[in-house]
Structure 1
C-alpha cells in the first residue's frame, strides 16, 4: 500500500509543477475570454506552457499507477496536497522563505489528509465487478453535475463566481476521469480482462482532453482563491462517493465518522488558507492574464 501512497504524492507534486508553469504562461493571454480552442493554440506557442503540460502528463501517469496499486478512496485525497506543493514551489522559484503562517496550512493539509485516510482505512472494492446500474447512474449524475457547473460558469463574467464554478466543474471531472482510469488499471492487472475490451478505456480517451481543456479555462477564469478550493476538494469528494457507492470500497463508520469529519474540516480549512496565501496571490498577479 505504501507504493500507492508514494506514487500519489509524486503525482501531486508533478501536477503542482504543471500548474505553476501553466499559470506563468497564462499571463500572456487576455483576461475574461470565453471557452475556446484558440486559447490552447496560443498557449501552445509558449515554452513554459509546454513544460507545464509535460509535468501534468507525468502526474497523470503517476496517478494511474497509484490507482493500479490501491483503491481510489486512498489515492484521490492525497492529491489534495497539490496546492501545498504549489505554494512550496512558488516559494522556491521566487526565492521566498516560508514563514510560520505559510507553513501552517501546508502542515495542516498534510496532517489532515493523513488522519482522514487513517480513519477511513479504505479497502476492498473492484471497478470491474461494479453493477451496470451503478455505472449508469454514477455516470449520468456526474456528467450532469459537471455540465450544469460549466454552463453556469460560462454564463457569468470572469471573476470569483466564474472561477468557483469552473474550478468545481474541473474538480468533479478530474474525479470522474480518475474513476474511469481506476477501472482501466484494474483491467490491466486482471489476467481475465484486457484494457481494450474494457469499455471505460474509450471514455477516458475523451475525458482526459476535455478535462485538460476545462482546466486551462479554469486557470484564467478568476482568482486562485476562488477556483482552487473547488478544483482541489471536489475531486476527492467525487472519488469517495464513487468508491463507496459504486465500487463497493469499505471505509470505517461508527465513531470513526467524527474523526473523519474533523480531519476533513482541517483539510478544507488548510486548503482555503493555502489558496489565500499572500505568496500565491503575488504569484498569481505576476502570472495573471493580461488585460
Structure 2
C-alpha cells in the first residue's frame, strides 16, 4: 500500500513539473534555440523552480515506491501523471475540464487499475543481475534514447517534440530501473551500498539527461505533442526491464488479455487527454476568459 501511495504522489509531482516547466518555457521567445543560455534564464524564474521542485519530489517518492514494490507495478501507476497534469493545469490556468477530459481521466485510471491488477507482478531478482546484462540492456536503452534525439533534429515541430517526449520517457524509465537497484543496495548494505554502486551515479546521470531533454521538448512544442512520450515510454521501458532483466513474474494466460485491455485503456486515455487545449500553447493564457494567442506576453509570469 505504501508503494502505491508513493507512486500516486510521484505522479502528482510529475504533473506539477509538467505544467510549471511548460509555463516557464512559454516565457522564452518563440523559435529561440534551446541552449545553456536559455536554461540559465529559465533557472532564474520562480515558476521553473516550482516545476523542478515537483520533479525532485517525484524522484524521491518514486524511489520509496520502488523500494517497497515491483518495478513493473510501480511505473504503470506513474501514468496517472497525465490526468493529474490536466487537473493541475486547470487550476493553474483557471480553466474547467470538459466531458472529453473527464472521460479520458476515467479511461486512464480504470486502464491502469486493470493493467496492474491483471499482471500482479511478483518479486524478481534485481539483487542478482550480472554486469554484462546491465551493459547489454542499458546500452540498448541508451541507444534508443540517442536514436530518438537524433530523429528529433529534423522534421515538423510536432514530430520533433514527440521524439523528444519519447526520449524523455525512455530516459526516466531507465532511471527508474537503476533506482530500483540503488534501493536494493540501501536495504542490503545501507548507505555504503548506495554510494559504492555504479547504478546510483548512472541513475543520477540519466535523471539529469531526462530533465534536460524534457525541457528541450517543452520548449520545442506544446505538451499535447510531448506528453504521450513522457507517459507511455516510462512504463514500457520499466515493464520490459522488470520482466526481462529483473526476472519479475506476472500472471499469464487469460490475465494477459485483461492486461492488454487495460493497456489499451491507458493508451486511449492518453490520446484523448493529449488533445486537451490545456496541454497546448493556449495554456499560456493565465486567467479566465478567451484563450490567448500561442505565445502570450510573459510579463505576468514569475
The TM-score with structure 2 as length reference comes to 0.90
For residue 171 of structure 1, what is the aligned residue in structure 2?
169
Alignment of 1:37-186 (within 5 A): 37-153=36-152, 155-156=153-154, 159-186=157-184
Deviation at 1:35, TM superposition (A): 4.3
- Cα deviations by residue, 1:148-177 (Å, 9 ceiling, x for unpaired): 110111x21561000111111111010001
1:268 and 2:267 correspond: yes
Q: How many pairs align?
A: 289
1:197 and 2:168 correspond: no
Unaligned runs of 5+ in 2: 287-293, 298-302
Misfit runs of 4+, over 4 Å: 287-291
Instruction: For residue 246 of structure 2, give the secondary structure of its aligned residue in structure 1.
Output: coil
Maintained 8 Å contact 1:220/1:289? no
- Cα deviations by residue, 1:192-236 (Å, 9 ceiling, x for unpaired): 871122221121232221111111001122232221111110110
Maintained 8 Å contact 1:224/1:284? no
Q: 2:185 aligns with which of 173, 184, 187?
A: 187
Maintained 8 Å contact 2:104/2:273? yes
Instruction: For residue 265 of structure 2, give the secondary structure of its aligned residue in structure 1.
Output: helix
1:232 & 1:29 partners in 2: Cα distance? 25
- Cα deviations by residue, 1:114-167 (Å, 9 ceiling, x for unpaired): 1100000011113221123321210110011100110111x2156100011111
Deviation at 1:285, TM superposition (A): 4.5
Maintained 8 Å contact 2:26/2:295? yes
Deviation at 1:28, TM superposition (A): 1.2
Please report the RMSD computed on the Cα atoms of aligned residues, expressed in angstroms. Answer: 1.9
For residue 256 of structure 2, what is the aligned residue in structure 1?
257
Unaligned runs of 5+ in 1: none
Maintained 8 Å contact 1:188/1:194? yes
The TM-score with structure 1 as length reference comes to 0.93
1:226/1:97 CA distance change after superposition, 3 Å = closer
2:227 & 2:278 partners in 1: Cα distance? 15
1:108/1:168 CA distance change after superposition, 3 Å = same
For residue 215 of structure 1, what is the aligned residue in structure 2?
214
1:164/1:282 CA distance change after superposition, 3 Å = closer
